[in-house]
Amino acid sequence: MTPKRKQKLFVILGLLSLTAIAVGLTLYALRANINLFFSPVQIAQGDAPMERQIRAGGMVKEGSVSRDPESLDVEFVVTDYVDDLEVYYSGILPDLFREGQGVVVVGELQADGRLYADKVLARHDENYMPPEVAQALEEAGYSPADFQAKAAEVGKRLEQEGSPEGSDY
Amino acid sequence: MLIKIIPEIGHFALVIALLMAVVQAVMPLAGAATRRPLWMAYGRPMATGQFLFVAIAYLCLTASYMLDDFSVANVANNSNSLLPWYYKFSAVWGNHEGSVLLWSLMLAGWGYAASVFSGDLPRDMVARVQGIMGMVCVGFLLFILMTSNPFERLLPNMPQDGADLNPLLQDFGLVVHPPMLYMGYVGFSVVFAFAIAALLGGRLDAAWTRWARPWTNVAWAFLTVGIALGSWWAYYELGWGGWWFWDPVENASLLPWLTGTALVHSLAVTEKRGSFKSWTVLLAISTFSLSLMGTFLVRSGVLTSVHAFANDPSRGFFILMLLAITVTLSLLVFALRAPRVSHKVGFNWLSRDSLLLINNILLVIMTVTVLLGTVYPLILDSLGLGKISVGPPYFNALFVPLTVVMCVFMGLGPVARWKSMSGRELWRKLGLAAAAAIVLGVAMPLVYDGEWNLWVSLGIISALWIVLPMVRDLFDKTRHASSFVAGLRKLSLSYWGMVLGHVGIAVTIVGVAVVSNYNIERNVRMSPGSTVEVAGYQFTMTELTNRRGPNFLADTSIIQVQRGEEGRSFVMRPEKRLYLATGMPMTQVALRPGLFRDLYVAMGEDLGDGSYAMRVQYKPFVRWLWLGGLLMAFGGILAVADKRYRRAAARQAKPVHTDRSTSQEATV
């Protein structure tokens, strides 16, 4: 083999091994960091893993938001109108967070059945029910259409009757 | 009465522009293929005409906004009579249709500029470049006219007033961020057109790179500024104090930037050494394809984030087709016409060539990892395999180490010689710099915080390792001059451009390392009279009031800030606004910026009992992030200003020999 060819071979081998390492690391990092989504019905059925970061979402149940008067702790219930999920969070809720609107929380499910959220993301969807929730309902064996209608009905009603923040002018 | 006709004029102008773009796409390419100068000559007037008519269309849309013509659907959906005039002006691109029109305007503009400033290029090359740019223009003008027409009317029942611009967009950021970003995205179409034209013409010598380099640098500079502005805007607009979320839309702008950076460096090698020719062409194709893909991701509604305007699947499908056609055709041309790879490698494993090759490889790896993380959830979703999300931990876990590795090579590159460099000489030059970087990097967290931190040290070491070798190199280059300053003056602008560009990255890395590790965030409950202490500053809420703005109502809190016991005292006024037309709430952050730290106060939620949840943050060195971006962009522009691009002497296109002399060059 000529020296040039040898040099080329080393270059190619080097590139291939770098690529293999890169791909390996990437896939490992990807697998370890994918957050799966669960709807309250799936959590109630026991499909969701415990003590691991998951995403859960649904609509914020009417009248379920309660804040601790001393700190920034807040509890609320996330529902897909089939099952409920209690969520506990300490922090500031996003601007678009409303009862009857969609929400996605990221956190860990604990043994007491509550989800301790690290992040709360409000989802303002035209259909009120986020698409992931509808899909999760379908996977759990329910027909999403009925529950989407219920979500829309509650959502619309609360939007119209509820006053937006800062309406005491 | 005239006002009502303006949108129609705009619409008609777009149709004319489309026709001209079709001619521009067909005639010059046909002329170049059949060697007919008359046909090739169609290119320039068509490019000029197309630019003119798209500009007319854009002006008509802007006029409709400024004149509050709510019979135009686009204006009715995105504007309002109470909107301040500068936001009406920017609202034109604050929505889907208008922003695609801006894209087209810039595309036509860059195409026109490429036609006009191609003085001494061979005519058939110019014709092919015009032809390819014409094809891209056709694609976008068709997209506008068929799926995203901004001139749709709401006659005869036009609304009384508009739906108002999304409050998050009523901000200076909207005025600057999208135009800069688009100039970058669209600018890469020029080097793409050059690459394809070179392939088609069989003229893949190193000379096309000399013509393409200035265009690429300018586009890259704009994209850098656009991304930096986007990060800065998100920082003070979204109210969380974050500056990069690995959001798919942010990634969509980062991907062409990464390959664009690789392209800028690869063009340098191809111009200087005549090697990496096919690789450079492939990078040019990839960068523009990623720009198009970015457009697809943002415009098709495939994602939902602050940027998602379009919910119409036909739009997404159209862009996807545009992207597929572009990528397929260009790769086909590449496969058929790429030059045979020469059998000699031509450089030593330790040389500037190989270091730049490694730089390119690393950038491509980074691009692929970000691409994978961005696109993987979409692919799974479209295949029905579940809805997952890939968050920042994935991206950070891969991107940060890769950046550190890249910095190691970035220290060596500017100092290494082309073709071959002796390891001993490199060590002799840079050994001291390496030691200094490590010592200072390890010491910095200890000095700053009292505790050692691996990531901060790595960041500081990387940044110093980029800068110190260049300082040493500066001294070496000016050693023989009459004085240090005289020596500096002799160095070319392109060298200074390189220096600034690399210093910019170093500054950004310092910013990232420090703010990620040392920023302090407190979420607290505050009411008038309460005080919170963050990083030695006392924040006291003195008042919680409300006020009325031009198109909003606001809860304002007056925060008195005192630095330490004796320090300076000032006031910050964060607000929580409610925009009247949409009923949307928005957080107006109070910022106290500084070169070495930002103070950040945002109002969270009204807790109902006279108190508010507040976010109080101390963010050290956060401005360095964007300062670095500006330095990088400035460096890119400086490199273009170099004399050699301005030499008026007509040049023949000469192939560049691969075995150049190995003298150390002061130019890059």
What is chain A's length? Answer: 169
**Are A34 and B361 within 8 A, CB to CB?**
no
Interatomic CA distance for residues B494 and B473, integer angstroms? 15
Q: Please work out, in degrees rounded to the nearest 5, the angle formed at the alpha carbon of residue B539 by the alpha carbons of B533 and B545.
A: 145
Peptide bond into B156 cis (omega under 30): yes
Sign of the CA dihedral B115, B121, B127, B130? negative
**Are A95 and B349 within 8 A, CB to CB?**
no
**Are B388 and A70 within 8 A, CB to CB?**
no
pLDDT tens readout for residues B12-50: 999 999 999 999 999 999 999 999 999 999 999 999 999
A55 touches chain B (CB under 8 A): yes
The token duo for B187 is: 């600018």
Q: List the single residue in A with minimal CA-CA distance to B603.
A: A92
- Answer whether B604's CB lies under 8 Å from B615's CB: yes
Q: In chain A, which residues have their Cβ closer than 8 Å to the Cβ of B368? A: 22, 26
Task: Tell me what pLDDT residue B303 has.
Answer: 64
Identify the bridge partners of residue A55 per DSSP, sorted by sequence position. Answer: A37, A106
Residue A50 domain-assigned (yes or no): yes
Residue with tokens 């490698």: B345
Instruction: Tell me which amino acid residue B630 is.
Output: L
Task: Please give the radius of gyration of chain A, using alpha carbons only, rounded to the nearest integer.
Answer: 23
Residue A81 domain-assigned (yes or no): yes
- Between these two residues, A14 and B253, which has the higher pLDDT value? B253
* Residue B138 pLDDT level (bands cut at 50, 70, 90): very high
Q: In chain A, which residues have their Cβ closer than 8 Å to the Cβ of B524? A: 72
Nearest to B21 by CA among B58, B54, B46, B45: B46
Task: Tell me what pLDDT residue B193 has.
Answer: 94
Residue B196 domain-assigned (yes or no): no
**Are A132 and B585 within 8 A, CB to CB?**
no
Element (H, E) at B424: helix B423-449
* Residue B221 pLDDT level (bands cut at 50, 70, 90): very high
The token duo for A161 is: 């009757």
- For residue A89, the distance in angstroms to the closest alpha carbon of chain B comes to 12
**Are B585 and A95 within 8 A, CB to CB?**
yes
Task: Tell me what pLDDT residue B133 has.
Answer: 95
Best of B302, B379, B387 to mutate (most A CBs within 10 Å, chain A): B387
Average pLDDT, chain B: 87
pLDDT at B644 over 90: no
Residue B414 domain-assigned (yes or no): no
Interatomic CA distance for residues B127 and B194, integer angstroms? 10
**Are B578 and A93 within 8 A, CB to CB?**
no
Residue B587 domain-assigned (yes or no): yes
**Are B391 and A33 within 8 A, CB to CB?**
yes
Best of A2, A95, A106, A161 to mutate (most B CBs within 10 Å, chain B): A95
Q: Nearest by CB to A169, which of B369, B386, B553?
A: B553
- For residue A42, the distance in angstroms to the closest alpha carbon of chain B comes to 14
Task: Tell me what pLDDT residue B189 has.
Answer: 95
- For residue B80, the distance in angstroms to the closest alpha carbon of chain A comes to 21
**Are B391 and A11 within 8 A, CB to CB?**
no
Q: In chain B, which residues have their Cβ closer than 8 Å to the Cβ of A165? A: 576, 578, 585, 605-606
pLDDT at B11 over 50: yes
Q: In chain A, which residues have their Cβ closer than 8 Å to the Cβ of B388? A: 34-37
Poorest-pLDDT segment among B176-180, B372-376, B528-532: B372-376
Identify the bridge partners of residue B522 per DSSP, sorted by sequence position. Answer: B616
Q: List the single residue in A with minimal CA-CA distance to B388.
A: A36
- For residue A25, the distance in angstroms to the closest alpha carbon of chain B comes to 8
Task: Tell me what pLDDT residue A137 has.
Answer: 77
Q: Which residues of B106-131 are buried (b: 16+ CB within 10 A; e: fewer)?
A: bbbbbbbbbbeebeebbbbbbbbbbb
Poorest-pLDDT segment among B42-51, B384-393, B621-630: B384-393
Q: List the single residue in B with minimal CA-CA distance to A70.
A: B525
User: What's the predicted TM-score (pTM) here?
Assistant: 0.88
Interatomic CA distance for residues B534 and B616, integer angstroms? 8
Q: Nearest by CB to A34, which of B388, B397, B553?
A: B388
Range of the domain at B576: 528-622
Mean pLDDT of B395-409: 92
Best of B245, B394, B547, B580 to mutate (most A CBs within 10 Å, chain A): B394
Count of Cβ atoms closer than 10 Å to residue B488 Cβ: 13
Interatomic CA distance for residues B368 and B153, integer angstroms? 43
Q: Which of B156, B178, B194 marks a domain boundary?
A: B156
- B650-657: long-range pairs with CB below 8 Å, 24+: B650/B120, B651/B120, B651/B207, B653/B122, B653/B203, B653/B205, B653/B207, B653/B208, B654/B205, B654/B207, B655/B205, B655/B206, B655/B207, B655/B274, B656/B205, B656/B206, B656/B207, B656/B271, B656/B272, B656/B273, B656/B274, B657/B274
Task: Tell me what pLDDT residue B83 has.
Answer: 86
**Are A95 and B586 within 8 A, CB to CB?**
yes
Residue B450 domain-assigned (yes or no): no
A7 touches chain B (CB under 8 A): yes
Task: Tell me what pLDDT residue B187 has.
Answer: 94
Residue A24 domain-assigned (yes or no): no
- Answer whether B275's CB lies under 8 Å from B347's CB: yes
Identify the bridge partners of residue B619 per DSSP, sorted by sequence position. Answer: B598
A25 touches chain B (CB under 8 A): yes
**Are A166 and B553 within 8 A, CB to CB?**
yes
3 state DSSP class of B209 = helix
Poorest-pLDDT segment among A154-158, B371-375, B493-497, B530-534: A154-158
Element (H, E) at B613: strand B612-620
Identify the bridge partners of residue B543 per DSSP, sorted by sequence position. Answer: B558
pLDDT at B655 over 60: no
A98 touches chain B (CB under 8 A): no
Q: Which residues between 99 and 138 in chain A have a beta carbon less than 8 angstroms from any beta carbon of chain B?
A: 123, 131-132, 135
Sign of the CA dihedral A125, A126, A127, A128? positive
- B372-379: long-range pairs with CB below 8 Å, 24+: B372/A26, B372/A30, B373/A30, B373/B246, B373/B251, B373/B398, B374/B248, B374/B251, B374/B252, B374/B255, B374/B297, B376/A30, B378/B248, B378/B302, B378/B303
Q: Where are the alpha helices (DSSP H) in chain A?
A: 3-33, 40-44, 131-139, 144-161
pLDDT tens readout for residues B463-511: 999 999 999 888 888 888 777 788 888 888 889 999 999 999 999 999 9
Q: In chain A, which residues have their Cβ closer than 8 Å to the Cβ of B308? A: none
| Residue list, annotated binding site of A for heme | 124, 128
Task: Tell me what pLDDT residue B532 has.
Answer: 92
Q: List the single residue in B with minimal CA-CA distance to A133.
A: B387
- For residue A56, the distance in angstroms to the closest alpha carbon of chain B comes to 11
Residue A121 domain-assigned (yes or no): yes
Q: Nearest by CB to B388, which of A18, A35, A96?
A: A35
Task: Tell me what pLDDT residue B423 has.
Answer: 84
Residue A22 domain-assigned (yes or no): no
Residue A25 domain-assigned (yes or no): no
Q: Nearest by CB to A72, which of B304, B365, B525?
A: B525
Residues of chain B in Cβ contact (below 8 Å) with chain A: 239, 304, 343-345, 349, 361, 365, 368-369, 372-373, 376, 386-391, 393-394, 397-398, 523-525, 546, 553-555, 576, 578, 583, 585-587, 604-609, 613, 615
Q: List the single residue in A with minimal CA-CA distance to B527.
A: A70
Range of the domain at A52: 37-161
Question: B460: which residues sit within 8 A by CB, 6+ positions away?
Answer: B437, B440, B441, B444, B445, B510, B513
3 state DSSP class of B522 = strand
**Are A165 and B605 within 8 A, CB to CB?**
yes
pLDDT at B191 over 90: yes
The token duo for B243 is: 């500056």
Interatomic CA distance for residues A97 and B279, integer angstroms? 49
Nearest to B603 by CA among B587, B579, B583: B587
Dihedral class, residue B274 (left if φ above 0, else alpha if ψ from -120 to 50, else beta): left
A121 φ, ψ (degrees, to nearest 5):
-120, 120
Q: Where are the alpha helices (DSSP H) in B148-276?
A: 172-201, 207-237, 248-273
Instruction: Tell me which amino acid residue B666 is.
Output: A
Q: How do beta strands A115-123 and A84-90 pair?
A: parallel
**Are B390 and A34 within 8 A, CB to CB?**
yes
**Are B373 and A4 within 8 A, CB to CB?**
no
pLDDT at B254 over 60: yes
pLDDT tens readout for residues B225-238: 999 999 999 998 88
Terminal-to-terminal C-alpha distance of chain A: 86
Q: In chain A, which residues have their Cβ closer than 8 Å to the Cβ of B555? A: 166
Interatomic CA distance for residues B105 and B93, integer angstroms? 11
Q: How do beta strands A34-38 and A53-60 pair?
A: parallel
Residue B644 domain-assigned (yes or no): no
**Are A72 and B615 within 8 A, CB to CB?**
no
Task: Tell me what pLDDT residue B341 has.
Answer: 62
Domain count, chain B: 2
Residue A147 domain-assigned (yes or no): yes
Instruction: Tell me which amino acid residue A64 is.
Output: S
- For residue A87, the distance in angstroms to the closest alpha carbon of chain B comes to 18
Percent of chain B with pLDDT over 90: 53
Q: Which residues of B261-298 are buried (b: 16+ CB within 10 A; e: fewer)?
A: bbbbbbbbbbbbbbbbbbbbbbbbbbbbbbbbbbbbbb
Helices B423-449 and B454-478, axial angle in degrees (round to 10): 130
Q: In chain A, which residues have their Cβ closer than 8 Å to the Cβ of B613? A: 72, 92-93
Q: In chain B, which residues have their Cβ closer than 8 Å to the Cβ of A8? A: 345
**Are B391 and A72 within 8 A, CB to CB?**
no
Domain count, chain A: 1
Q: Complex ipTM, two decimals?
A: 0.75
A160 touches chain B (CB under 8 A): no
- Answer whether B292's CB lies under 8 Å from B253's CB: no
Mean pLDDT of B397-424: 89
Nearest to B274 by CA among B349, B194, B206: B206
Residue B166 domain-assigned (yes or no): no
Q: Nearest by CB to A164, which of B398, B578, B607?
A: B578
Count of Cβ atoms closer than 10 Å to residue B360 Cβ: 21
B19 φ, ψ (degrees, to nearest 5):
-60, -40
Residue A112 is part of a domain; what is its CATH number?
2.40.50.140
Positions in chain A short of pLDDT 70: 1, 123-128, 161-169
pLDDT at B666 over 70: no
Residue A124 domain-assigned (yes or no): yes
Residue with tokens 């029910």: A129
pLDDT tens readout for residues B543-602: 899 899 888 899 999 999 998 877 888 999 999 998 887 778 888 899 999 999 999 999
Q: Which of B90, B124, B156 marks a domain boundary?
A: B156
Question: B515: which residues sit within 8 A by CB, 6+ positions away?
Answer: B243, B619, B620, B621, B622, B624, B625
Poorest-pLDDT segment among B75-89, B135-149, B297-311, B621-635: B297-311
**Are B369 and A26 within 8 A, CB to CB?**
yes
